[in-house]
């Protein structure tokens, strides 16, 4: 076929594919299509010469021509495309034949033929490199998604083992490319040497190296899958065992653990009581200083709040804790008011109108108190909304105007 | 960071990459572990590691420490049943046989959806949430999920990155649970794996 008619034929095929893109993609995703789903004219166009659709055997549904299917898989980076085509033996045999043509054509001065042979060698090397790299990329994406296209662990393990055998085969095949032979084949031909030695050899060594790291990752992943499978079976086994022996868990401590306990069981008891920020004590001045910086240059009007001993009856050990700071009592009173409001937001600014406290300091303590409760897991009860206004004289700084607290429980 | 780490460890909490990312990264340095150990040794404690999670262990096990460790084991074994059932339930909810790992996300809404869709999950959730460990008294799926997740968070198995969202992350403590199960399996001679998967059944003879 001449160059001109090849071009014409190619354009016709591509426009056929684009005209029937929907049908082709549906068939690709479903695997096959029934003849009855296609109009006669469409059927005729797609089946002519088996170029796009073909019937694998009499009476079967129509399938995509394997070449078209492969093209789609490659182009769409479909994860299901798991085969890696890197037939090195075939490649080397083809290159040898073409190199023979090339050298012969050069000897007899048939320059056009020589150019053509060189071009063919070049494209077969590029194609080989492309397929290998694409295959490796596919392997990485399968590894990174942990074979996400199969759900079950045993399915993942099967996929993993298959990928492992594929990689091993590829590494073996790449190792079989005999570069001394190709080196001799290229002889003094500079162009041939460039393609065979530079391009091909570099591609093979780069890909081999990458395949080795793929191999390591696959092996590591397999180990992880097996661990998970072991965990899964142990969990389910424990459920069955506890069903049959409901009292077993209670007797676990009496198992023969030996004089030296296994390291896993050596867990020290906690020695610390939970600690909170002491807003009423030693750090109070620090907290007030922070509040002062929020206010900017103006010094805070902090009233010294005398500690009072609330008249409550308590055991002596607890009496120390009853030294309560009145400002703290005021903050707590506000939270109680928020609880009483039963879910509707309560404004701190409004509450403060009846209280004599310096606003910034009080708000600061309120926010600390809400934080403390959140840390202790009581936070879900209160949800606060902070209303702040940016200061015009200090960009980036906002001053809290009000805090709305709403009891969600 | 050193004093924070010491405080966490002395408080009986564990440190994993999910629950305490910074402290975990800090402890990964051997010199930092040594610095912590030199403080902990004063109270007969040392940094121990299970999987990728750190906790405080006794430096030397005397009679008293052994007693405490046994008591801890008793508590842990008591919690095993409810937690294992809950883990298996989440697997069923995802229609998956992959057990939870540290870092996995648990979304309240996804559990809710599964419980509404899959009757077996709904029934198991109702049974599990009523176990004394979880202690729910509600018939509402939503409340049962909230209660179980809150208890697991309190137990250190989950963390809730934002208090407003029912979105949790599994901590490294779950790996401790697996290790404990394997150990009980081994010491108790239970052959749990074989119990769950008896292997290929022998073909009946005719």
Q: Tens of pLDDT along chain B (206 residues)?
A: 888 898 889 888 889 999 899 999 999 999 999 999 988 888 889 999 988 899 999 988 888 888 888 888 888 888 898 999 999 999 999 888 889 999 999 999 999 999 999 999 999 999 999 999 999 889 999 999 999 999 999 989 999 999 888 899 999 999 999 999 999 999 999 889 888 887 665 555 54
Interface test with A, best of B9, B56, B98 (most A CBs within 10 A): B98
Closest by Cβ to A262, choosing from B68, B183, B197: B183
What is the predicted pLDDT for the residue at A215? 92
User: What pLDDT band is residue A295 in, cutting at 50, 70 and 90?
Assistant: very low
Q: Determine the residue of chain B that is closest to A151 in CA distance.
A: B96
pLDDT higher than threshold 50 for residue A380: yes
- Is residue B62 within 8 Å of B42, Cβ to Cβ? no
How many cross-chain Cβ pairs, A to B, lie less than 8 Å apart? 155
CB contact under 8 A, B194 and A237: yes
Are residues A253 and B61, on separate chains, in Cβ contact within 8 Å? Answer: no
Helix and strand totals (H; E) in chain A: 16, 7
Which of B7, B50, B73 is closest, CB to CB, to A272? B7
User: Which of A61-75, A331-345, A380-394 has the weakest average pLDDT?
Assistant: A380-394
DSSP label at A253?
A: G
d(CA A346, CA A124): 76
Contact A68, A54 (CB under 8 A): no
Is A325 a residue whose pLDDT tops 80?
A: no
> What is the mean pLDDT of the segment spanning A96-106?
89
Write out chain A residues lying below 8 Å of B69, CB-based: 261, 265-267
Q: Cβ atoms within 10 A of the Cβ of A389, count?
A: 10
pLDDT at A276 over 90: no
Q: Which one of A193-202, A210-219, A331-340 scores highest in mean pLDDT?
A: A210-219
**Mutate which of B44, B45, B84 to disrupt the A interface (most A C-beta within 10 Å)?**
B84
pLDDT over 70 at A12, yes or no: yes
* Gap between the Cα atoms of B175 and B53, Å rounded: 8
In contact, B124 and B89? CB cutoff 8 Å: yes
Name every chain B residue with its beta carbon within 8 A of the beta carbon of A154: 97
pLDDT at A288: 67
Q: What's residue A322's pLDDT?
A: 45
Highest mean pLDDT among A43-47, A97-101, B57-61, B82-86: B82-86
Per the model's pLDDT, the better-predicted residue between B167 and A253 turns out to be B167
Is residue B24 a contact partner of residue B6, using CB atoms and an 8 Å limit? no
Cβ B11–A231 below 8 Å, yes or no?
no
B120 lies within 8 A of chain A by CB: no
CB B88 within 8 A of CB B51: no
pLDDT of residue A323: 52
pLDDT confidence bin for A294, thresholds 50/70/90: low
Say yes or no for a CB contact (<8 Å) between A230 and B193: yes
pLDDT of A312 above 90: no
The reply to whether residue A231 touches residue B99, judged by beta carbons under 8 angstroms, is yes
Query: Helix %, strand %, coil % for chain A, to 5?
Result: 65, 10, 30
Other C-beta atoms closer than 10 Å to the C-beta of A42 total 14
B73, A253: Cβ pair inside 8 Å? Answer: yes
Q: Is B39 in the A-facing interface, judged by CB distances under 8 Å?
A: no
By the 8 A CB rule, do A232 and A224 touch? Answer: no
């Amino acid at each position: 076929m001449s160059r001109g008619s090849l071009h014409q034929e190619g354009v016709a095929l591509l426009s056929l594919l684009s005209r029937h893109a929907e049908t082709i993609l549906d068939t690709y995703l479903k695997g096959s299509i029934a003849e009855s789903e296609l109009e006669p004219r469409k059927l005729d166009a797609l089946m002519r010469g088996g170029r796009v659709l073909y019937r694998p055997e009499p009476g079967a549904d129509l399938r995509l021509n394997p070449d078209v299917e492969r093209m789609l898989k490659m182009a769409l980076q479909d994860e299901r495309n798991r085969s890696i085509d890197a037939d090195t033996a075939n490649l080397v045999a083809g290159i040898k034949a073409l190199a023979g043509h090339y050298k012969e054509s050069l000897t007899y001065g048939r320059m056009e033929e020589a150019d053509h042979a060189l071009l063919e060698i070049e494209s077969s090397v590029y194609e080989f490199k492309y397929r290998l790299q694409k295959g490796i990329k596919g392997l990485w994406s399968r590894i990174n998604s942990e074979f996400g296209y199969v759900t079950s662990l045993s399915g993942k393990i099967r996929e993993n083992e298959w990928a492992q055998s594929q990689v091993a085969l590829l590494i073996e095949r790449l190792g079989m490319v005999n570069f001394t032979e190709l080196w001799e084949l290229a002889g003094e031909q500079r162009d041939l040497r460039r393609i065979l030695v530079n391009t091909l050899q570099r591609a093979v060594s780069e890909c081999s190296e990458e395949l080795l790291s793929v191999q390591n990752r696959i092996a590591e992943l397999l180990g992880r899958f097996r661990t998970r499978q072991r965990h899964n079976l142990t969990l389910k086994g424990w459920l069955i065992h506890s069903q049959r022996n409901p009292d077993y868990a209670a007797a676990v401590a009496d198992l023969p653990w030996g004089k030296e306990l296994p390291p896993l069981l050596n867990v020290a008891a906690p020695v610390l009581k939970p600690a909170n920020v002491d807003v009423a004590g030693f750090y109070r001045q620090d907290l007030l200083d922070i509040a002062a910086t929020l206010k900017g240059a103006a010094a805070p009007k902090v009233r010294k709040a005398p500690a009072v001993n609330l008249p409550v009856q308590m055991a002596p050990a607890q009496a120390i804790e009853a030294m309560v700071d009145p400002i703290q009592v005021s903050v707590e009173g506000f939270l109680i008011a928020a609880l009483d409001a039963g879910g509707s937001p309560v404004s701190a600014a409004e509450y403060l109108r009846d209280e004599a406290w310096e606003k910034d300091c009080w708000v600061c303590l309120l926010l600390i108190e809400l934080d403390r409760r959140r840390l202790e897991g009581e936070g879900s009860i209160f949800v606060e909304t902070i209303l702040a206004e940016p200061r015009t004289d200090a960009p980036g700084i906002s001053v809290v105007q009000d805090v709305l607290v709403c009891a969600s429980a | 960071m050193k004093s924070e780490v010491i405080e966490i460890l002395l408080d009986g909490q564990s440190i994993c990459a999910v629950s305490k990312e910074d402290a975990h990264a800090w402890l990964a340095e051997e010199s930092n572990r040594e610095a912590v150990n030199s403080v902990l040794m004063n109270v007969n404690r040392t940094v121990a590691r299970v999987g990728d999670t750190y906790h405080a262990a006794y430096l030397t096990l005397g009679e008293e420490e052994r007693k405490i460790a046994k008591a801890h084991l008793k508590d842990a074994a008591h919690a095993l049943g409810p937690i294992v059932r809950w883990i298996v339930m989440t697997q069923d909810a995802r229609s998956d046989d992959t057990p939870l790992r540290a870092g996995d996300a648990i979304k309240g809404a996804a559990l809710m959806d599964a419980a509404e869709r899959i009757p077996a999950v709904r029934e198991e959730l109702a049974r599990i949430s009523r176990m004394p460990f979880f202690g729910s008294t509600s018939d509402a799926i939503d409340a049962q999920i909230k209660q179980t997740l809150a208890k697991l968070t309190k137990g250190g198995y989950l963390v809730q990155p934002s208090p407003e969202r029912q979105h949790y992350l599994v901590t490294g403590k779950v790996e401790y649970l697996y290790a404990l199960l394997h150990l009980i399996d081994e010491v108790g001679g239970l052959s749990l794996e074989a119990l769950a998967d008896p292997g290929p059944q022998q073909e009946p003879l005719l």
